[in-house]
């Protein structure tokens, strides 16, 4: 995440307010500047002392709003200061005020005095969330393109009801915040359907043994997150991978697969409706020639397995690609990464490829960071140093947008 971004957090009056403490702490550790506003009811759940300690800056409450003005009004200063405004938990009461442009406290006045993107995290009882009036306010609010959202999730609520209305978990806030800060809230992929593959395929010898690779799917998930927060309709075809947070899993179409054959079928089915397809999955090259439906005793496994090739999914997509579509591949390489990537781009009729090294520290399979060289069909190259996979995903989407 870019260092020193200015994040303003508004805390509403709900039991889920405790979750935002972890978000504040994590953002500070990442080097961001944090300011916090608590509503009067929020202070009944967590104290100003708690959030001021975590943010290393005084917390603002309604009593500060009504103090005599010694310089500029507080809500004006905070609204102009913020590069991103996070409101969590967003209560039904706060939602109604925002949807109708009402301002009767420091938080709502600061919303009207700001122009930055606003990330909302609703939290309320299921019956409250499902009320016609609440859903109307929710839909009305998003006529303003400043607003973005995560959640609500489905789960056990503080009222002991199981249903929709649970605030997103702290881990879901961080990629959302990073995406919005990186793009300044742009939804420049609205109207596009982006198809993404992720994870490593598995070719089973028997029910417990398989030929596979170390891919965790983190790069593909990062691409799905980035595309979603930029407004795209996202379909993620995923081999076994790391767990997705519910706020993302409920917002995109997910097709789970295991083998290359299953991924091939899913990709071919979805490809005709996709505007952009990014093949980030690590698909195997060979599979056992014979599958045994029971666990083969160890002494019966031959020392040399008969293998047969796996169809090249990316090449098949390249053959079917229409002029309006964009097809992007990945080339995980050791040593010289550019030459093999350019050959792959040409051979498989790609529009762009990301060549990434897997023999360098903190790059490639399983890492939280990655680096790459982007190459398009016109020979344009862009080298990306090591950075988070989410940031790299946004930069790749930017690169693809620049293909003429």
pLDDT, residue 400, reads 97
Residues 6+ apart with CB under 8 A from 122: 89, 90, 95, 129, 138, 149, 151, 152, 165, 167
| Mean per-residue pLDDT of the chain | 93
Average pLDDT score over residue span 118-125: 96
- pTM for this prediction: 0.90
pLDDT, residue 90, reads 97
In percent, the amount of the chain with pLDDT more than 90 equals 83
User: Is the Cβ–Cβ distance between 281 and 197 less than 8 Å?
Assistant: yes
pLDDT category of residue 363 using cuts at 50, 70 and 90: confident
pLDDT, residue 3, reads 55
Please state, in angstroms and as integers, the Cα–Cα distance from residue 33 to each residue in 7, 69, 295, following that order. Answer: 6, 24, 56
Average pLDDT score over residue span 276-291: 94
pLDDT per position as a tens digit, 255-264: 999 999 999 9
For residue 53, pLDDT beyond 70? yes
- The whole-angstrom separation of Cα 238 and Cα 240 is 6
Q: CATH homologous superfamily for 193-401?
A: CoaB-like (3.40.50.10300)
Tokens of 259: 């083998």
Burial class of residue 42, CB neighbours in 10 A (0-12, 13-18, 19+): buried
What is the Rg, in whole angstroms, of the alpha carbon atoms belonging to the chain? 24
pLDDT, residue 140, reads 96
pLDDT, residue 181, reads 95
Angle in degrees, CA 80, 81, 83, rounded to 5:
95
Average pLDDT score over residue span 267-279: 98
Q: Which residue among 21, 61, 116, 159 is the active-site one?
A: 159
Average pLDDT score over residue span 120-131: 95
Could you tell me which of 350, 352, 344, 358 has the C-alpha nearest to residue 397?
352
Q: Which CATH number fits domain 6-183: 3.40.50.970, 3.40.640.10, 3.40.50.1950, 3.40.309.10?
A: 3.40.50.1950
Could you tell me which of 15, 13, 10, 11 has the C-alpha nearest to residue 166?
15
pLDDT category of residue 1 using cuts at 50, 70 and 90: very low
Q: Where are the domains of the chain?
A: 6-183, 193-401
pLDDT, residue 222, reads 94
For residue 272, pLDDT beyond 80? yes
Which residue has tokens 């008969």?
306
Which residue has tokens 């097709």?
255
Same fold, 6-183 and 193-401: yes
Please state, in angstroms and as integers, the Cα–Cα distance from residue 390 to each residue in 76, 77, 327, 385, following that order. Answer: 32, 31, 20, 13
Could you tell me which of 162, 194, 394, 165 has the C-alpha nearest to residue 274?
194
For residue 69, pLDDT beyond 80? no
For residue 66, pLDDT beyond 90? no
Q: What is the DSSP string of 68-110?
A: PPSSS-HHHHHHHH-SEEEEEEE-HHHHHHHHTT---SHHHHH
Whether residue 159 lies in the annotated active site: yes
Average pLDDT score over residue span 207-233: 93
Residue 84 CB neighbour total at 10 angstroms: 23
pLDDT per position as a tens digit, 145-193: 999 999 898 888 888 889 888 999 999 999 999 999 999 999 999 999 9
Average pLDDT score over residue span 297-302: 92
pLDDT, residue 22, reads 96
For residue 242, pLDDT beyond 70? no
For residue 311, pLDDT beyond 80? yes
């Amino acid at each position: 995440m870019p260092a020193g971004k200015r994040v303003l957090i508004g805390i509403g009056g709900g039991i889920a307010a405790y979750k935002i403490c972890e978000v504040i702490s994590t953002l500070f550790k990442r080097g961001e500047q944090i300011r916090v506003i608590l509503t009067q009811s929020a202070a009944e759940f967590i104290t100003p002392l708690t959030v001021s300690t975590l943010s290393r800056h005084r917390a603002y409450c309604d009593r500060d709003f009504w103090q005599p003005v010694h310089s500029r009004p507080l809500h004006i200063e905070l609204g102009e200061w913020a590069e991103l405004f996070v409101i969590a938990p967003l209560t039904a009461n706060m939602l109604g005020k925002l949807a109708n442009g009402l301002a009767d406290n420091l938080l709502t006045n600061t919303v009207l005095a700001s122009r930055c993107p606003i990330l909302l995290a609703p939290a309320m009882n299921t019956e409250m969330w499902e009320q016609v009036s609440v859903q109307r306010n929710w839909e009305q609010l998003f006529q303003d393109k400043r607003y973005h959202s995560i959640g609500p999730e489905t789960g056990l609520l503080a009222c002991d009801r199981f249903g929709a209305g649970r605030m997103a978990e702290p881990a879901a806030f961080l990629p959302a915040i990073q995406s919005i800060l990186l793009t300044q809230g742009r939804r420049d992929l609205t109207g596009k359907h982006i198809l993404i593959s992720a994870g490593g395929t598995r070719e089973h010898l028997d029910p417990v043994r398989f030929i596979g690779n170390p891919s965790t799917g983190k790069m593909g998930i990062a691409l799905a997150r980035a595309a979603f927060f930029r407004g795209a309709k996202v379909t993620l075809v995923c081999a076994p991978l790391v767990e997705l947070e519910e706020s993302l899993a409920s917002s995109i179409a997910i097709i789970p697969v295991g083998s290359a054959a299953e991924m091939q079928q899913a990709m071919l089915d979805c490809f005709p409706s996709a505007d952009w397809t990014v093949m980030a999955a690590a698909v195997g090259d060979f599979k056992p020639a014979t599958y045994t439906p029971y666990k083969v005793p160890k002494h019966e496994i031959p020392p040399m397995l008969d293998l047969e090739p796996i169809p090249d999914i990316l090449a098949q997509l390249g053959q079917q690609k229409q002029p309006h579509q964009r097809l992007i591949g990945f080339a995980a390489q050791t040593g010289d990464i550019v030459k093999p990537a350019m050959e792959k781009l040409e051979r498989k009729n790609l529009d762009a490829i990301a060549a990434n090294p897997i023999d360098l520290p903190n790059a490639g399979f399983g890492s939280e960071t990655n680096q790459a060289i982007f190459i398009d069909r016109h020979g344009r190259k862009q080298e990306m140093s090591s950075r988070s996979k989410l940031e790299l995903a946004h930069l790749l989407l930017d690169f693809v947008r620049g293909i003429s």
